[in-house]
Amino acid sequence: MTSPHSCRPEELLIHTIAGLLDDCRHIAVGVLSPIPGSAALLASTRTGAKVSIIGSALPRYRSNGGVDLFDSAAQGRIDAFFLSGGQIDGQANINLTGIGDYPEFDVRWSGAFGSAFLYFTVPRVILFRQEHTRRIFVPKVNFISSPGISPPDVVRPGGPYALVTGLCVMMFDRATGRFRLHSVHAGHSVEEVRDNTGFDFDCPEHVPETAGPSPADLETIRHRVAPIIADPYPKFADTLFGTDGNAIP
């Protein structure tokens, strides 16, 4: 049984991502994103940032789907968003489309939808995958659904900011088009990150351990964030927190 102040891996990720959002005014969260959604809510408890979550029925967090999201991003009214991919490479290119020879893929995924548009317009895009393996983090994506970098003459206010996984945090340098290892989660090592990453990345001489949540942070996650994220993600909230899904206004 988890003690009151011990930190589950998901809670570490929620706390870690929230720390990358502290100066954002409006954070948007797409579908199938319970951990990023929880992180956005945690950040909002600290800063009062507006949070829009696709799939939430709560008026305060409800978003009118893609139309509202895309319009807000185009107008510069979203500061942070989250993306993932079946493959991600060292230039932060994302593959959401499939593996094999285009257009007859051997493996077909759900598709990019509006990810490329949001990748170009939202200033702070955080890439997130719990699984950290060479299956995901490849030398070069098989298909670029959303490019991480663009030529200098392309107007692009948005782009990759950080990568958070079950092993580590990497920050993305848009000038060099490379990731730099920022921290490694407790119980893991730089060598483990290298062994499970198919692309090269910059690494400082000393890589700190990812800071964990304080008891106060855990209290906030479990008693303020959990009931809200239970609205769009009841199974996630029940499994992790045991919440009954009665949302806090």
**Residue 12 maps to a domain:** yes
For 164, counting Cβ atoms within 10 Å of its Cβ (0-12 exposed, 13-18 middle, 19+ buried), the class is: buried
Residue-range definition of the domain harbouring residue 175:
85-111+127-200
- How confident is the model at residue 65, as a pLDDT? 73
- Mean pLDDT, the chain, rounded, equals 93
Are residues 100 and 178 both part of a single domain? yes
**Residue 144 maps to a domain:** yes
Distance between CA 152 and CA 156 in Å, rounded?
9
Are residues 94 and 74 both part of a single domain? no
The reply to whether omega before 103 is within 30° of 0 (cis) is yes
Tell me, letter by letter, the H, E, C secondary structure of 110-134.
CCCCCHHHHHHHCCEEEEEECCCCC
Are residues 172 and 66 both part of a single domain? no
- Look-up of token digits 């092993």: 167
Q: What is the mean pLDDT of residues 135-160?
A: 96
* Residue 249: band (very low, low, confident or very high) from pLDDT cuts 50, 70, 90: very low
**Residue 23 maps to a domain:** yes
Are residues 151 and 167 both part of a single domain? yes
Q: Total structural domains in the chain?
A: 2
**Residue 35 maps to a domain:** yes
156-181 confidence digits (pLDDT tens) = 999 999 999 999 999 999 999 999 99
**Residue 206 maps to a domain:** no
The model carries a pTM of 0.94
202-238 confidence digits (pLDDT tens) = 999 999 999 999 999 999 999 999 999 999 999 999 9
The CATH number of the domain holding residue 194 is 3.40.1080.10
Are residues 78 and 89 both part of a single domain? no
Are residues 31 and 96 both part of a single domain? no
**Residue 205 maps to a domain:** no
Closest CA to 100 of 142, 138, 147: 142
